[in-house]
Each structure stands twice: as structure tokens, then as C-alpha cells.
Amino acid sequence: MSPQPAAHSTQSDAAGRLAGLIRDADSVVALTGAGISVPSGIPDFRTPGKGLWENVDPMEVAHIDAFHRDTARFWQFYRPRFADLGSKEPNPAHAALAELEARGLLRAVITQNIDRLHRKSGSTRVIEVHGSIETSSCTTCGSSYPLERVEALFDEDGVATCGCCMGKVKPDVVLFGEFLPEAPMADAHDLCASCDLLICVGSSLEVYPVAGLPSVALNNGARLAIVTQGPTPYDRDATVKLEGDVVDELRAVLAAL
Ligand code: ZN
């Protein structure tokens, strides 16, 4: 592939076409994945050598069984990661989606990300299908703690412990071995079934059940737009695909509206 002017004009054309689809649609929904947070300094775990799982077997630390079996080890891994994630800021790609919502052009954002950056950037209707670092909950009594208060819960063994009942506190993110929360998935399904344009941003659309959502939209007659670098299983179903940097592409779409 050549980064020459021809490629650039193709990118602009695609952004213009997506802007046109947004203008013509009555109900637009966005579905986002790890790629939208990469410009915020949060590497996609699929990126070789850079990802979260580089030196760790996720099944050993990020599995619900691992949480119950060795909670100290679980938090040894997650505690610094949460502190790091909590300090990240949204980037212009998040801001572009917030701007679309503010202009009345985007109904909701469905996200696989747990980093809460869509909310931080001002999006108000955000469906977090993998949960969020925003809160953690006691696995015994259900008490909920905002991220900012979790650090104060750790005991000398490095286990976050409930202030009410001394139960184990677990982040409200979906771990391996856990089902996705029912209510957000039902919302996501309904949004995809009733939209007429689904814009997938920064997701390889490979992880089920979220990877099934574009099919829900397509089967109900919606158009599909993809703003993602690299191939996805839905590329042939997409009316338009934008393959450049996610920030550049979404800026170009906003500019063309
Ligand atoms: Zn408790």
C-alpha cells in the first residue's frame, strides 16, 4: 500500500461517504473497541509485544476462577493497571463521537472498552458491555465502590476488602469465564436491531457475543460502516470502510458533515 496522494484522496472520499450516511440516517449507533483508545496510550492487547498480556497468561490472572482462588495475585496484576487506566484521558476520536451525540446525530455508543473514556469525553449514552473500571463491588454484600475509593480498601495481603462485611471486592469488569452482563447486552442488541446505521470503530469484531451485533443490525436492514485498521469479518458487508488512523478518520468525518 502506498501513502501517496491517491491513498489520501481515497481516505477523504470514504470520510465524505460516511458523513453522507450519517446525514441520511434516522438512527445512528456506534460500536467501539480497543482501537479507539490506542491514541490515549492504552495498547490493544492484540498488538504483539505491547499488549496487556505480554508476560502474563490471562487465564491465570484475569479469570473469574483465578480471582476466587488467588485474589491477592489477581489484584497484584490489576491494581497498577487500574491506577494507570484511571489516569488516561480521552482522545479526539472519543470527542468526535461525543460531538456527534451532542449534535443529535448519534443515539448511543456501545463499547467493549472498560476505560470509561467515552463518558469522560462527554458521551452520555454509553453501553459498556464488558463493564467498566468505574466501580468495584463486594462479592458478598454487593456494596459498590467508585474507582477512587478502591485503593483505600486493600489489606496487608493486597486484597481489596469490603468496608462493610470484609468480603472480597471485585472490579465491575467482565473477566474471562464470566458471562457478559445481561442488561447492557440486551440494550446493545435492541440498539443494533433498531438503528439504520451502525458505525464500528476500532474493533476487529472478532470477540463474541459483541461480534454478533453487526449481524443484528444488518439483518434488520441497517447499513454498516467500519472505521478500523486491519481486516474484520464484516468488511464485505460494510457500505464504507475507513482504514486510516482512527483520530484522522473521525475528524475527517466531522469536517465533512
Ligand atoms: Zn461487603
Q: What is the DSSP letter of 220?
A: T
pLDDT at 9: 45
Active site residue 63: no
Distance 119 CA to ligand 1 centre (A): 27
Mean pLDDT lowest among 137-141, 197-201, 205-209: 205-209
237: cell is: 458487508
Distance 177 CA to ligand 1 centre (A): 22
Q: Where in the chain is the domain with CATH 3.40.50.1220?
A: 1-42+90-130+179-257
Model pLDDT for residues 67-115, shown as the tens digit of each residue? 999 999 999 988 988 888 989 999 999 999 999 999 999 999 999 999 9
Q: Please tell me the CATH superfamily of domain 54-87+133-173, with its number.
A: SIR2/SIRT2 'Small Domain' (3.30.1600.10)
Rounded to whole angstroms, how far apart are CA atoms 196 and 191? 10
Q: What is the DSSP letter of 63?
A: B
The model's pTM: 0.90
Distance 161 CA to ligand 1 centre (A): 8
Burial of 161 (0-12, 13-18, 19+ CB in 10 A): middle
Between 1.20.1260.10, 3.40.50.2300, 3.40.50.1220, 3.40.605.10, what CATH number should domain 1-42+90-130+179-257 receive? Answer: 3.40.50.1220
Point out the catalytic residue in the list 94, 118, 130, 189.
Answer: 130
Model pLDDT for residues 93-105, shown as the tens digit of each residue? 999 999 999 999 9
Residues with CB under 5 A from ligand 1 (ion): 138, 140-141, 143, 162, 164-165, 167
173: cell is: 469488569
Model pLDDT for residues 147-205, shown as the tens digit of each residue? 999 999 999 999 999 999 999 999 999 998 998 889 999 999 999 999 999 999 999 99
